[in-house]
Amino acid sequence: MGPTAVVTGVGGALPPRVVTNHELAQRLDTSDEWIRTRTGIRQRHVVEAGTSTGDLATEAGSRAMKQAGLDSVDLVVVATTTPDRLCPATAPTVASRMGLVGASAFDVSAVCSGFVYALQTATTAIAAGTAESAVVIGAESFSTLLDPEDRSTVAIFGDGAGALALRAGDRSEDGAVLDFDTGSDGSLRDLITVPGGGAEQRASGRPPAIGDTYFRMEGQPVFKHAVRQMSETSLKVLGTSGWAVEEVDWFVGHQANMRILRAVAGRLGIDSDRAVSNIERVGNTAAASIPLALSDSAAEGRLGRGDRVLLAAFGGGATWGAATLTWPELPPL
Ligand code: UT7
Instruction: Strands of 64-173 (E only): list them.
Output: 75-79, 104-108, 133-140, 160-169
Which protein residue has the closest C-alpha to ligand 1 atom 42? Answer: 30
**Lowest-confidence segment of 138-152, 197-211, 306-320 by average pLDDT:** 197-211
**Which strand ranges, in their side-by-side order, compose the sheet holding 75-79?**
4-13, 160-169, 133-140, 75-79, 104-108
CA-nearest residue for atom 8, ligand 1, is: 223
Amino acid at 212: D
Residue nearest to atom 30 of ligand 1 (CA): 152
Ligand 1: nearest atom to the Cα of 30: 47
Q: Could you tell me the pLDDT band of residue 208, with boundaries at 50, 70 and 90?
A: confident
Q: What's the 152 CA to ligand 1 centre distance in angstroms?
A: 5
pLDDT, tens digit, for every residue of 104-113?
Answer: 999 999 999 9
Amino acid 1: pLDDT: 75
* CA of residue 21 to ligand 1 center, whole Å: 15
| Rounded average pLDDT over 226-235 | 98
List, in order of start, the domains of the chain with CATH numbers: 3-170 (3.40.47.10), 177-326 (3.40.47.10)
pLDDT band at 31 (very low <50, low <70, confident <90, very high): very high
Report, as an integer, the average pLDDT of 126-153.
Answer: 97
Pocket of ligand 1 (CB under 6 A): 30, 34-35, 38-39, 112, 151-152, 155-156, 219-220, 222-223, 226, 256-257, 260, 284, 286, 314-315
pLDDT tens-place string over residues 50-81: 999 999 999 999 999 999 999 999 999 999 99
